[in-house]
Amino acid sequence: SLGSRNVYKRQLFLCGCYMVALGAHTGEECMAKHHEAESYVAAVYEHPSILSPNPLALTSRQQAFELMNQNLDIYEQQVMTVAQKGVQIIVFPEDGIHGLNFTRTSIYPFLDFMPSPQVVRWNPCLEPHHFNDTEVLQRLSCMAIKGDMFLVANLGTKQPCHISDPGCPNDGRYQFNPDVVFSNNGTLVDRYRKHNLYFEAAFDVPLKVDHTTFDTLFADRFGVFTCFDILFFNPAVRLLRDYKVKHVVHPTAWMNQLPLLAATEIQKAFAVAFGVNVLAANVHHPVLGMTGSGIHTPLKSFWYHDMENPNGRLIIAQVTKNPVGIIDAENATGEMDPSHSKFLKILSGHPYCEKDAQEVHCNEATKWNRNALPIFHSEMMYDNFTLVSIWGKEGYLHVCSNGLCCYLLYERPTLSKELYALGVFDGLHTVHGTYYIQVCALVRYGSLGFDTCGQEITEATGIFEFHLWGNFSTSYIFPLFLTSGMTLDVPDQLGWENDHYFLRKSGLSSGLVMAALYGRLYKRD
């Protein structure tokens, strides 16, 4: 689905450095100052891939490679550009070389053969004749050598199988959607074959989940997964839980869907939730709703989201080697602000606070509206959310669905004309994928009607200082946070208090579009 038609670009400082956009200030002086033991320099490229004019038509291998070579030429230009800036790893997007919307048959000429890197140690650039149909791998390997950097890219591959294999498709071959990793000497270090396919009839799901990691001298261990994988336990969560991964490379071909699943939004939420760095490269096709790439740490992001400009974009950033997470409830220090004190008193049921169904009074001077607010329902992200409207400059609300109750304690310095609501959903999402979610969301109405709550908007002026929390039954909770202009924001605090997970934020620099706690119950998928 299509997002906003505005241009959103943002530059933030990270480890004393910055994002470098193509055509922007190069910042060589800043790059030269980085301390190798504490940081590394990474790049991602949002690629406006050259697509087949008729992806359903049959073509020859030569014709397929001619099209792929055009995309590979652009890749090589990016590699040589970032090599001059000291980049040590570059990530390219999913489907960036061969394109989109193939059938199983029509994609076949676009597929390389790739041996398992666990079985064969191979340098395609230096050993091009070891295997047939490896032209794409050869070019990528040579790029890594020319740029003297690790290179991560996505391509299609084929693997013959025997009829005795019970999983072998009828055409006698597996077709996979893998990411490949090359070291700076061109060696094929490893591959990851996409497990959670998103309506990709051209490809097969591997019989066994790949948990792919690779080690580097500049940043220890990286993990690899692709696009839709980010929403599932395998392989994404397993990599972080069991393989000591601190850095993730994430090729993607992501179609944005607001308010909860924009590309940069979920990339950032993953970095925050797990305390890791995420290097995410998306394809750039605004007409298909595809944009949104970034280099994200838990605390800072360098991103690109542009629904108007047809051009690609390089993002270069100096990235901390050991990412630091957001302060949570257990390690927070410093003097407690009054709003957080109120929040803690509400959770503890302290007599200082008087509660009823919709509001709380935490001192004599507070005069909040005691009228019960009506509950309503509205479809958001194809799910039937239960919501309650937000009125007034301050208040306390809650709304429940199934076993999940969501709460909001808020103050508004000034009232805007826009309407907001607190929403909850606890159930199985079944459109464009099937997975179980628990969501507490503070969202803006599209206009004045209840049915416009949670529509795809990107601009807002409403300023909030708030605590958002819920009694989640999962520990896998992703904090989603967007302000006006598709700007990514970071919570001041996250954590558990009295069996409730909360997000706290004050001091918004622009209007709030959406803040949400997006919980995943993987076992109930």
Instruction: Encode pLDDT of 421-471 as tens digits.
Output: 999 999 999 999 999 999 999 999 887 777 787 789 999 999 999 999 999
pLDDT at 329 over 70: no
Output the pLDDT for position 372: 61
Mean pLDDT for the stretch of residues 273-302: 98
Residue 119, CA distances (Å) to 91, 134, 222, 468 in order: 24, 17, 20, 50
Neighbours of 119 (CB within 10 A): 7
What does the alpha-carbon distance between residue 480 and residue 438 come to, in Å, rounded to a whole number? 13
Size (the chain), residues: 525
Catalytic residue list contains 208: no
pLDDT at 18 over 60: no
Name the pLDDT band for 4 (thresholds 50, 70, 90): very low
Output the pLDDT for position 284: 98
Output the pLDDT for position 509: 86
Output the pLDDT for position 175: 98
Contact 222, 214 (CB under 8 A): yes
Mean pLDDT for the stretch of residues 319-344: 78
Output the pLDDT for position 336: 74
Output the pLDDT for position 446: 82
Output the pLDDT for position 328: 59
pLDDT at 6 over 50: no
Name the pLDDT band for 291 (thresholds 50, 70, 90): very high
Catalytic residue list contains 406: no
Output the pLDDT for position 450: 74
Candidates 94, 359, 418, 497; catalytic one: 94
What does the alpha-carbon distance between residue 170 and residue 43 come to, in Å, rounded to a whole number? 40
Residues ≥6 apart with Cβ < 8 Å to 436: 427, 428, 429, 520, 521, 522, 524, 525
CATH 3.60.110.10 segments of the chain: 39-320
Residues ≥6 apart with Cβ < 8 Å to 81: 22, 314
Name the pLDDT band for 333 (thresholds 50, 70, 90): low
Residues ≥6 apart with Cβ < 8 Å to 391: 369, 373
Contact 242, 249 (CB under 8 A): no
Candidates 17, 227, 362, 440; catalytic one: 227
Q: From the options 1.10.10.10, 3.40.50.10320, 3.50.50.60, 3.60.110.10, give the CATH code of 39-320.
A: 3.60.110.10
Catalytic residue list contains 227: yes
Average pLDDT, rounded, for the chain: 89
pLDDT at 24 over 50: no
**Sheet with 435-444, edge to edge strand ranges:** 375-380, 383-390, 420-429, 435-444, 512-520, 477-483, 487-488
Candidates 125, 142, 194, 200; catalytic one: 194
More confident call, 335 vs 4: 335
pLDDT at 14 over 50: no
More confident call, 361 vs 233: 233
The phi, psi pair for 42, rounded to 5°, reads -125, 160
Output the pLDDT for position 371: 42
CA angle (487, 194, 204) in 5-degree steps: 135
Instruction: Encode pLDDT of 334-386 as tens digits.
Output: 567 888 989 998 998 854 444 444 444 444 333 343 346 789 999 999 999 99
Instruction: Encode pLDDT of 32-54 as tens digits.
Output: 344 446 999 999 999 999 999 99
What does the alpha-carbon distance between residue 282 and residue 312 come to, in Å, rounded to a whole number? 10
